[in-house]
Structure 1
Amino acid sequence: MDFAELLAALALKVRNQRGAIQTEEATKNAFIMPFISTILGYDVFNPLEVVPEFTADVGVKRGEKVDYAIMRDGEVQILIECKKSSEPLKIEHASQLFRYFAVTNARIAVLTNGETYQFYTDLDAPNRMDEKPFLVLALLDIDETLIPELRKLTKDVFDLDSIISSAEELKYIGQIKRTIAAQFTEPQDEWIRFFTTRVYEGAFTQKVREQFTSLVTKATKQYLNDQVNARLKTALGGSNFSSSDAAAETMSSIPVAQDDLDRDTEIMTTLDELEGYQIVKAIACSEVKPQRVMHRDAKSYFAILLDDNNRKPIARLHFNSKKQKYIGIFDGDKVETRHPIDSLDEIYLHASAIRDTVRIHQG
């Protein structure tokens, strides 16, 4: 497995087992130790690499422990403080990290509950841990743009200077993205007021605020959907696809109606489909350049193609059913087999077959 696949496999484990985890110790054993060993690549049973219950007396505080210290060349590089998986992370949980950060050589501190990993450094003041993380990894909703940065902390390619140099940008971009995402679900008064005062000339009263809260929420979501569909229509309009291609198509074991291939306004591309496409694209990029992996949406499925050629199907996403999602995988004869998936992370379980399909099209 490559690095992204290892992350996806651990995410699937967390998703499947989180309901059975009741204590901090269980969280460490089931989720955090596998993260340290499988993802970061350190031997959790080698005290030269990983020290559990790390102690470094700080001032009047004696005998306090940080859950794990990751060592390199005899020096502490990463400190990890753990909480149980059912407990939301708060900065108050990081008191030991704050103290230990100042008296060790560590430049990276991690606060985690096994599902979310918050990475801290000392951007605001030297040798003093920041109050806000520069990187937040949520295993149940992995942001793929963070994967290359996380990889810099692994044992094989440990690159502290590189990650520190990019930490400030990561910190603020991450905070901005999380702030924008929050406005889509629970818009704040400032967000509502910002848009309302630009389209409504009256006073911003409580009644107006209540009225425009739902209007702004709907408008922002519709705008995002419009942008997605506009990009798809632009891409489809520039393709050489014709109805004659459909007659030659043999890639599916299930007959496809002609209207599924029409690019009309009834086709609605979802965020899940686009995220699934990005996962398949990331997998396929080990074999081909990313710009060669294209997509086309239809009424009953979302197709992912090599070179935007419907005779070179890589996969299909069947996400339109409310009950069950499927990913369609193709064999050497272009016959599709559907596999049920419960989350987007499970697409990584079919990475080998996806790569095989890409290689067949290349040959």
Structure 2
Amino acid sequence: MSFKEQVAELSKRAIAAQNIALTEEATKNALVMPFLRTLGFDVFDPTQIVPEFIADVGLKKGEKVDYAVKINDRIEFILEAKAVSANLSQAQYSQLYRYFSTTDCSIAILTNGIQIWFFTDLDAPNKLDSNPFFKFDLFDYDDNDLKELEKFHKEKFSIEDIKSSASTLKRMKATINCIEAQFNDPDDEFVRLISKEIHDGKLTAAVVAEFKPIIKRAFDDLVRQKIQKKLSAAFNENVNIPTIKDVDSVTQINDDGDGIETTQEEIDGFNIVRAIGAELADVSRIVMRDQKSYCGINFDDNNRKPIVRLHFNSKTKFLTIFDAEKAGSRFDIAQTTDIFKAKALIQAVIQSYVGS
């Protein structure tokens, strides 16, 4: 299998394991060791993988980190695993910090089997950065993420390339954070920067206050246009992208006519699921059936082949995403476009139907 196919298989495994592998040991066996295999390592070869690696740190003796990963007899990674249910942002991983400075390793990895965080020493030599330079999520990744992850493969590993990429990723992350902050709440300096290009007069405080909501709305419209282009590109030219005005073009919506109201938000969600599925199957096979309590999206218009249920009828929005065994798991979202974050999960179930 290609690296992309191996990661897709690992993602499917993670879907099944997330409700079963509840302890650290179970997570290691179900997800962490398969992850290391995906990176080209023989997990049973002690010259490549050293479990329960011990390195004395100052007065602390006999402490262990879960795995040391060797390439050409040199420790390149140390890895600490948490249970699949662990929130990595709240996890304690002090061993990584201590061991990083006492070994010659280049990379420290923290993972709960689904999210994999990569750390190095960009800020100060031989001192682990407090923030990861790269995060990979088995439930939410794209081709660019795969390219970054493949750099850690045993056969492709180059610490020079990785550190160069890490520096770029760090700057990109800082840039994205800055742009996102301006997107959510543009400050006066940014508003002035844009306004001077379109306003001939003096930029008084009143003018800046007038332009601020206009610029925020322009950001919102730009994002919507980008999403629409992405959706349009996913469909064949002959496939109509429905809106609330032509909702009848969507197969089987409101087939009982029993007080069901299909909202534009549900239509948007349906279009996003179709766009995600377009990489694997003809979009005409992905069909919406709206119900009173949820909006169902099925494969081949078959209730026995559920893909996603959209729960948009209350203040808290979430999806029920099904797997190949028809078991549903909840995926919370803040806005409709967050459905793209569930791309790997949605494609996994569609792929199971395509191959059946």
TM-score of the superposition, structure 1-length normalised? 0.62
Where 1:93 maps in the other structure, the secondary structure is coil
- 1:1-363 map, 5 Å: 1-37=1-37, 39-90=38-89, 93-177=92-176, 191=186, 221-229=220-228, 270=268, 273=271, 277=275, 281=279, 317-318=286-287, 323-326=295-298, 340-341=306-307, 342=321, 344=343, 345-348=345-348
User: Which amino acid in structure 2 is aligned with residue 22 of structure 1?
Assistant: L
Distance 1:221 1:28, change over 3 A: farther
Residue 174 of structure 1: how far off its partner (Å)? 3.6
Contact 1:110–1:120 under 8 Å retained in 2: yes
Where 2:135 maps in the other structure, the secondary structure is strand
Residue 147 of structure 1: how far off its partner (Å)? 0.6
Contact 1:327–1:347 under 8 Å retained in 2: no
Aligned residues, how many? 291
Residue 88 of structure 1: how far off its partner (Å)? 1.1
Residue 171 of structure 1: how far off its partner (Å)? 2.2
Q: State how far apart, in whole Å, the 1-side matches of 2:227 and 2:167 are.
A: 29
Q: State how far apart, in whole Å, the 1-side matches of 2:234 and 2:22 are.
A: 48
Q: Please list the CA deviations of residues 277-335 of structure 1 after superposition, one character each: whole Å capped at 9, or x if unmatched.
A: 46765x7xxxxxxxxxxxxxxxxxxxx7xxxxxxxx6885446855443456xxxxxxx
Contact 1:276–1:347 under 8 Å retained in 2: no
Where 2:139 maps in the other structure, the secondary structure is helix
Q: Please list the CA deviations of residues 133-170 of structure 1 after superposition, one character each: whole Å capped at 9, or x if unmatched.
A: 11001222224311111111112322332222111111
Give unmatched runs, 5+ long, in structure 2: 196-203, 241-246, 251-263, 308-320, 322-341
Q: State how far apart, in whole Å, the 1-side matches of 2:233 and 2:34 are.
A: 44
Contact 2:80–2:109 under 8 Å retained in 1: yes
Q: State how far apart, in whole Å, the 1-side matches of 2:77 and 2:106 are.
A: 7
Residue 231 of structure 1: how far off its partner (Å)? 6.8
Distance 1:320 1:43, change over 3 A: farther
Where 2:65 maps in the other structure, the secondary structure is strand
Residue 65 of structure 1: how far off its partner (Å)? 0.8
Contact 1:89–1:113 under 8 Å retained in 2: yes
Q: State how far apart, in whole Å, the 1-side matches of 2:117 and 2:269 are.
A: 25
Give unmatched runs, 5+ long, in structure 1: 206-211, 247-256, 261-265, 284-303, 305-312, 329-335, 356-363
Residue 172 of structure 1: how far off its partner (Å)? 3.0
Q: State how far apart, in whole Å, the 1-side matches of 2:269 and 2:85 are.
A: 27
Distance 1:17 1:151, change over 3 A: same
Root-mean-square deviation (CA, aligned residues, Å) is 4.6
Where 2:83 maps in the other structure, the secondary structure is coil
Contact 2:273–2:346 under 8 Å retained in 1: no
Q: State how far apart, in whole Å, the 2-side matches of 1:172 and 1:142 are.
A: 20
Where 1:127 maps in the other structure, the secondary structure is coil
Q: State how far apart, in whole Å, the 2-side matches of 1:232 and 1:346 are.
A: 16
Q: Please list the CA deviations of residues 182-232 of structure 1 after superposition, one character each: whole Å capped at 9, or x if unmatched.
A: 998xx5xx5587889999966999xxxxxx8xx999875554223333676
Distance 1:15 1:232, change over 3 A: closer
Q: State how far apart, in whole Å, the 2-side matches of 1:235 and 1:50 are.
A: 42
Contact 1:136–1:174 under 8 Å retained in 2: no
Residue 69 of structure 1: how far off its partner (Å)? 0.7
Distance 1:235 1:32, change over 3 A: closer
Distance 1:80 1:174, change over 3 A: same
Distance 1:340 1:8, change over 3 A: farther
Residue 274 of structure 1: how far off its partner (Å)? 5.5
Residue 66 of structure 1: how far off its partner (Å)? 0.7
Residue 111 of structure 1: how far off its partner (Å)? 0.9
Contact 2:97–2:127 under 8 Å retained in 1: yes
Q: State how far apart, in whole Å, the 1-side matches of 2:18 and 2:347 are.
A: 20
Where 1:98 maps in the other structure, the secondary structure is helix
More moved, 11-20 vs 165-174: 11-20
Distance 1:182 1:23, change over 3 A: farther
Q: State how far apart, in whole Å, the 2-side matches of 1:21 and 1:183 are.
A: 40
Contact 2:276–2:347 under 8 Å retained in 1: no
> What is residue 250 of structure 1 aligned with on the other side?
none
Distance 1:315 1:152, change over 3 A: farther
Where 1:68 maps in the other structure, the secondary structure is strand
Distance 1:81 1:217, change over 3 A: farther
Distance 1:219 1:271, change over 3 A: farther
Q: State how far apart, in whole Å, the 1-side matches of 2:76 and 2:232 are.
A: 49
